[in-house]
Amino acid sequence: MDPKRRPPDQGEPVDDRPYDRPFGHGVEAEPRAKRKKRGEPSPNKPLRARDRLGKYRILRRIGGGGFAIVYEALDKVEGTHVALKIPRAEFVTESNLEQFRREVRTHAALDHPNILPIKNADLVDERFVIAIPLGKGSLDQRMRRRMSIDTALGYARQMLEAVAHAHEHRIAHCDVKPENFLLFGKDRVRLADFGIARIAQRTIAGSGSGTIGYIAPEQAMGKPKLSSDVFSLGLIFWEMLSGELPEYPFADPLPGLARLKRKVPVEFIAFLRRALQVDPKARFADARRMLAVFEKLEPSVRRFARGERTRRRAKTGSKTAQSRDWRQVRFRQFQQQFRQELALDRNCGDCQGPMSEAMHCCPWCGSDAHPEQERTRFPDRCERCQRGRKLDWKFCAFCHGKGFETVDSRSYSDARYAGRCGGCRNPLIPFSRYCPWCRRKTTNRWRITGVRSTCPKCGWGIAKDFWSRCPWCTTRLGDGS
């Protein structure tokens, strides 16, 4: 007999209800909490390098916005590198999850070489993860460097083919912009964020969609059409060829028109003007019609560009070629002498001169450095300046940005460390501007081994025999510097 029940002769009623509690316990047994695997991050904390997320291992943070953070990760099952777009926790609601799944199913039909597929979109370790193939960069990054007409036309054709394929299925992207065109090998362009872009914009803005710089007027009023994507494409093509982005109210003459006239024939300018009409009825109805006209004009644009190059070559003569050859000799001499000392791991996008990650401008031609376009020697990047950082640094060593959200408690040694901070006495990376531990501006006057010349403004070492600008403070160097 159950010891917890008394016989009826003691004057108390018998409890005949089924007894489902564990014997010997006065309370119901609670389900055992799921044990967190080693290396598995908490769903409320930011991810960092070497964290595991299902079958993915996080390698580095690529970037982020108001809606999601993007990481580079290794798919341990397939053995490939992928990009993981992880929406911020506050946006992962039941309604949004259902919208995500519906959009992914709808856009799975868009099978095209220039449309980026979604490899996976599901909850992984309590985080909503969108896995896509990893590209080499975005069109936005590529447009910051010089681009030939042939390259620009190749990109334009692929962009038009991607959007036209979507318009054949009566699907509008509604956020066509350079950041959403990713670059892959052999100059292949793929359009990303179909469906996801619309959910992100609705979630953040609450109404309308699209990026302000590339949005069509009717889309800003909450009435997007297929021709809204045509308008966005026209803006990207205009900026890609002229270097200037037109702004509302898009009045004539549009910025960069004079430069555009030197690059393309008037027929192609008229083609772009039609795509940029404020009235949607005056534009191409969709990207398919725009692509048909582009295909007719493309050969004449290429002929015009070749003729322009021939005229320019005849005008400059052979002196330019001789100057270019001599410049390459100087570049090779400089690399042989300073490659290891200055960690020369990249080239200027304009003059192709050798540069390092710590430089703030090209010392040969003075153009701005673009560290986001190159791979870094460090395991992570600073979100502000896009230069590399070590995982145990609290602050960026190259810019005065705010402290990092995730800092590893473990200290890492580095053979590159040289000198110490005058405040906290922690080691410093050569040619760093700030201490990564206490954010104090370095007082070190960094020198180049074997070179006595210094910049008259910042006092740091310069290669006077090679450079025309100081790469550390961007000061122009005179003949007597």
Q: How far apart are CA 82 and CA 169, in angstroms?
A: 27
Q: How far apart are CA 176 and CA 231, in angstroms?
A: 9
Encoding tokens for residue 113? 């070489």
pLDDT at 410: 86
Q: State yes or no: pLDDT of 203 exceeds 90.
A: no
Q: How far apart are CA 97 and CA 199, in angstroms?
A: 10
Average pLDDT, the chain: 82
Q: End-to-end CA distance of the chain: give it in Å, rounded.
A: 103
Helix 287-316 to helix 318-342 angle, to the nearest 10 degrees?
100
449-473 per-position pLDDT tens digit: 888 899 999 999 999 889 999 999 9
252-301 per-position pLDDT tens digit: 889 999 999 999 999 999 999 999 999 999 999 999 999 999 999 999 99
Tell which residue, 53, 49, 18, has the closest CA to residue 124. Answer: 53
Q: State yes or no: pLDDT of 7 exceeds 70.
A: no
User: CA-CA-CA-CA torsion for 22, 23, 27, 32, nearest 10 degrees?
Assistant: -40
pLDDT at 223: 86
Among 89-93, 244-248, 250-254, 295-299, name the most confident range: 295-299
**What are the φ and ψ backbone dihedral angles of 102, each rounded to 5 degrees?**
-65, -45
Residue 42 pLDDT grade (very low, low, confident, very high; cuts 50, 70, 90): low
Residue 302 pLDDT grade (very low, low, confident, very high; cuts 50, 70, 90): very high
Q: How far apart are CA 63 and CA 182, in angstroms?
A: 14
pLDDT at 81: 93
For residues 13-32, give the mean pLDDT: 47
The residue count of the chain comes to: 481
- Under 8 Å between Cβ of 71 and 63: no
**Which residue do the tokens 């004449």 mark?**
300
For residues 179-194, give the mean pLDDT: 89
For residues 369-387, give the mean pLDDT: 79
Q: State yes or no: pLDDT of 131 exceeds 70.
A: yes
- Under 8 Å between Cβ of 44 and 28: no
Q: How far apart are CA 50 and CA 67, in angstroms?
A: 23
- Which domains does the chain carry? 52-133 (3.30.200.20), 137-314 (1.10.510.10)
What percent of the chain is modeled with pLDDT above 90? Answer: 36
